[in-house]
Amino acid sequence: MLLPNGIRHLPGYLDRRQQEALVEAIRAVVAEAPLYTPAMPGTGKEMSVRMTNCGVLGWVTDKQHGYRYQPTHPVTGRPWPAMPPVLLELWANIAGYEKQPEACLVNFYNDDARMGLHQDRDEQDLAAPVLSISLGNTCLFRVGGLNRNDRTLSFKLSSGDIVVLGGEGRLCFHGVDRIHPATSTLLKNGGRINLTLRRVNP
């Protein structure tokens, strides 16, 4: 399968022990910064994915103010927890970008959640790649081109896989069509966690 230029799929990048360590780190993040249900700008329609963040900035959305980065949790008003060192290390090894990531969006998908086709374009620094880590149940990931109507292709992302959207592929449309239940034993109650590391400021 030929992916668009700039998009890399690294299957099985993280072994089971590394995946477990990441889940532990994310549990600590969620204990401090609980998952909340984001809403679409304008319509206020709730997303099926629950979210939180770690790092100096977090990506949030709500009916009133739309997509943005901010330094505090929209529900608790507290600063986001620090980015776990293991994530900074992954970025250093994979991103090939000098500056550190500022935001790690934590997406939690229960087995019937999905994410519509979209671009990641709320960052000012588009030279930095987006690094996306999959944990738990397998999903069907879809990727297209730079225009919403471009042809798309889909492939599965399993626990421990990493996807990099960089270079010419940085603004490619992408989304998650579905989660395949009971395809991983990593998360006791099923579902899928996706961690998306991003540099926001140039």
Ligand X SMILES: O=C(O)CCC(=O)C(=O)O
Among ligand X, Mn ion, none, the one that 176 touches (CB under a kind-dependent 5 to 8 A) is ligand X
Closest contact distance (angstroms) between CB of 145 and Mn ion is: 15
CA 174, CA 85: separation in Å to the nearest integer? Answer: 27
Q: Determine contact, residues 87/104, Cβ cutoff 8 Å.
A: yes
Q: How far is the CB of 67 from ligand X (least distance, A)?
A: 10
In angstroms, rounded to a whole number, what is the distance separating the alpha carbons of residues 41 and 26? Answer: 27
Minimum gap (Å) between residue 61 Cβ and ligand X? 11
Distance (Å, rounded) from C-alpha 18 to C-alpha 27? 14
Find the binding residues for ligand X in span 87-146 (CB under 6 A): 105, 107, 115, 120, 132, 141
Query: What is the distance between the alpha carbons of residues 115 and 106, in angstroms, rounded to a whole number?
Result: 13
Question: Considering only residues 26-65, where is the footprint of Mn ion by CB under 5 A?
Answer: none
Binding of residue 120 to Mn ion (CB under 5 A): yes
Give min distance, CB of 157 to ligand X, in A.
6
Q: Which stretch binds Mn ion (CB under 5 A): 21-29, 50-58, 119-127, 181-189?
A: 119-127
Q: Beta strands 115-118 and 130-136: pairing type?
A: unpaired
For residues 129 and 93, the answer to whether their CB atoms sit within 8 Å is no
Return residues touching ligand X (CB under 6 A): 105, 107, 115, 120, 132, 141, 174, 176, 194, 196
